[in-house]
Amino acid sequence: MQVTSETFAVDALAAARLTRLLHQDKIGAPARATIIRLAYRGRLADPWKQLGDDPEVWAALDPRPPFWAEMLRCRWCVSVWAGGLVAALRWAVPAVWSPVARALAASQIAGMAGAVDDRMAADR
């Protein structure tokens, strides 16, 4: 499959949106919590459960968090995995991935435009 400039741009924006979903957005919080809980499986006997039920707090306060907990706290790390997933999906199932990628890209652009609008409104 030949990658065009348009396909590359759409996939890059889709990867950026996936990165934000997994790393930061509220909608991704359940997935993050599940992954971090799984990463801490077997380590939660003592101190971490005393910190409450929020796995993101465990990972933030742990000086040596498990690998996957640490990866989710690092935007650049998540972006590598998101980019790999996007490339794999574009290669494996382009007909299925294309509309999903376009939706994610449109969401990313809308989010960026909203952030610019918020900053402009704050400057007024």
pTM (2 d.p.): 0.83
Closest CA to 68 of 32, 118, 104: 32
Q: What are phi and psi of 104, to 5 degrees?
A: -65, -40
All residues at 6 or more sequence positions from 54 whose CB lies less than 8 Å from its CB, including other chains: 33
Q: Where are the alpha helices (DSSP H) in 1-124?
A: 5-23, 29-39, 47-50, 55-61, 67-73, 75-92, 94-123
pLDDT digits (tens, 9 = 90+) for 92-121: 999 999 999 999 999 999 999 999 999 899
pLDDT digits (tens, 9 = 90+) for 12-47: 999 999 999 999 999 999 998 888 888 887 765 555
Q: Where are the domains of the chain?
A: 5-123
Q: What are phi and psi of 73, to 5 degrees?
A: -85, -10
